Amino acid sequence: MEKKIEIAENIKFLEKSAIRKIVEAAPANSVNFGLGEIQFPPPRYLIDHAKQILDSKLLGYTHNAGLLELRECICNYYNTEFNNNVCVSNGAEEALFATFFSYLNPDDEVIIADPTFLAYRTIAEMLGAKIVAFDLDAASNFSLNKISFQKAFSKKTKLVVLNNPSNPTGTCFGKDEIDLIVKTCAEKKVLLVVDEVYRELFIEERPESFFSHKADVICISSLSKSHCLSGWRLGWAISNQPELIEPIIKVHQYLSTCAPTLSQEIALKAFSKTGMEESEKIRQQLLTNRKIVLDYLAGINILPNKSLPYLFVQVEVNDVKFAYELAKKGAIVIPGSAFGANAYGWIRLNCGIEKNSFLRGLKILRSYLSFIYLIDN
Ligand SMILES: Cc1ncc(COP(=O)(O)O)c(C=O)c1O
């Protein structure tokens, strides 16, 4: 018999995502509200700078942890002194992978929220760790179910990973929720990893970073959302305890040597005063789009969100079927239950897409929702 090259056991469970199947059901010119990416162009200021850099620098490898000046800039963003406590990565995704790889052994338990960003489960499971989910309650605007959170801990718990603000709900944890999370992790000596990639896209008030808490906390973020630089692959992991970042730098060295040097140069500008003003313009543009959605979908239950670009819309019926049927009509959304069973009956809608198709898509969505909500089409 011919010998077959087998893939590794650890990744055999990986499948084509449910989301991809929905996209495939949609006609060619469908409006895609399902994207996990903001469709606005990156700031001209950064692109022009990139061109200058290309003409003037060699762009070899940098230090594995990133350009020193950039690591200092990132610390400055967190109002802290540089202390070898940052690892610049290929987007937040690589920082997450390097962090999990640095701390998880097979059979360790990882606590995640239900619902939450899909990658946490997948990365942990690829490393042989077990997922334990705690509830965010749909009935109370996806707030933390404190009993469920505390019950999720066991002797095997190694790490809690949160997303604040949240993808998919756009909500943030409140002060008492944060206090409980940080205190519980500190008491149980569990590593807390907080993915804050949507922090700059707040609606009213910029959420505080978990960085400032006195616990074993690693914060992860990137420029993908704040500056619409998703393809530039520039993220980081930071902690107020340098020893927590040290193993991540080693893993990152073998994953990718360093983040793209051109992107690191651009990041220096992204953190400048002008760069942050450009990020603010992106936020304003998203706020305008959010208002259009809220006006257009008046009468429909939309979760009060604290950050962009996602809006979480209650459809009450089977959300997966809803998303399939809507896709056939030309608008793509992500069913809430793709992010966890507690989000059954909801859909995620990205409002960071191009204006014309955006309005066309909203029309399709409203017309479809009008049967459920008995509102005018
Ligand atoms: C919560 C969350 N974390 C991380 C990422 C990945 O970000 P990056 O492009 O920086 O890898 C995404 C992308 O959608 C996300 O939604």
Is the C-beta atom of 334 inside 6 A of ligand 1? no
> Residue 151 has what pLDDT?
98
Q: Is 188 left (phi over 0), alpha (psi -120 to 50) or beta?
A: alpha
Is the C-beta atom of 36 inside 6 A of ligand 1? yes
**AA letter at 55:** D
Distance 195 CA to ligand 1 centre (A): 8
> Residue 20 has what pLDDT?
78
Is the C-beta atom of 352 inside 6 A of ligand 1? no
Count, in order, helices (H) and strands (E) of the chain. Answer: 12, 13
Is the C-beta atom of 117 inside 6 A of ligand 1? yes
Is the C-beta atom of 339 inside 6 A of ligand 1? no
> Residue 117 has what pLDDT?
96
Q: Please report the sign of the dihedral spanned by the C-alpha atoms of residue 139, residue 142, residue 144, residue 145.
A: positive
Q: Ligand 1, atom 14: nearest CA belongs to which residue? A: 36
Rounded distance between C-alpha atoms, residue 364 and residue 326, angstroms: 8
> Residue 2 has what pLDDT?
80
Domains of the chain as residue ranges with CATH: 9-42+274-369 (3.90.1150.10), 44-272 (3.40.640.10)
- The atom of ligand 1 lying closest to the CA of 36 is 14
Q: Is 91 left (phi over 0), alpha (psi -120 to 50) or beta?
A: left
- The atom of ligand 1 lying closest to the CA of 96 is 4
Ligand 1 pocket test, pick from 37, 120, 225, 232 with the greatest ligand atom count within 8 Å of Cβ, gives 225
φ, ψ at 12 (rounded to 5°): -65, -25
Is the C-beta atom of 222 inside 6 A of ligand 1? yes
Distance 373 CA to ligand 1 centre (A): 32
End-to-end CA distance of the chain: give it in Å, rounded. 62
Distance 297 CA to ligand 1 centre (A): 27
Structure tokens at 40: 């606005």
Distances (CA, A) of 88 to 31, 211, 360: 34, 16, 39
Structure tokens at 171: 């909500």
Strands (DSSP E) contained in 226-330 are: 235-238, 310-314
Our measurement of the distance from residue 184's CA atom to the centroid of its chain's CA atoms, rounded to an integer in Å, reads 23
Structure tokens at 65: 């942890």
Ligand 1 pocket test, pick from 197, 198, 200, 222 with the greatest ligand atom count within 8 Å of Cβ, gives 197
Residue reference for tokens 């949160």: 162
Of 22, 19, 18, 16, residue with least CA distance to 328: 22
Is the C-beta atom of 258 inside 6 A of ligand 1? no
Is the C-beta atom of 224 inside 6 A of ligand 1? yes
Distance 201 CA to ligand 1 centre (A): 13
Ligand 1 pocket test, pick from 210, 222, 227 with the greatest ligand atom count within 8 Å of Cβ, gives 222
Distance 167 CA to ligand 1 centre (A): 9
Cβ-count burial of 154 within 10 angstroms (0-12 exposed, 13-18 middle, 19+ buried)?
exposed
Of 31, 12, 67, residue with least CA distance to 263: 67
8 Å CB contact between 132 and 152: yes
Residue reference for tokens 């006195």: 214
> Residue 160 has what pLDDT?
98
3-state secondary structure of 333: coil
pTM over 0.85: yes
Residue reference for tokens 């979908």: 297
Average pLDDT per block of 10 residues along the chain, 377 residues long: 88 81 89 92 97 95 98 98 97 98 98 97 97 97 98 98 98 96 97 98 97 93 98 97 98 98 98 98 97 93 96 94 93 96 97 88 91 73
- The atom of ligand 1 lying closest to the CA of 117 is 1
Distance 157 CA to ligand 1 centre (A): 24
**AA letter at 185:** C
> Residue 304 has what pLDDT?
95
Distance 4 CA to ligand 1 centre (A): 35
Is the C-beta atom of 168 inside 6 A of ligand 1? no
Structure tokens at 372: 């459920």
Rounded distance between C-alpha atoms, residue 348 and residue 326, angstroms: 13
Is the C-beta atom of 93 inside 6 A of ligand 1? yes
**AA letter at 204:** E
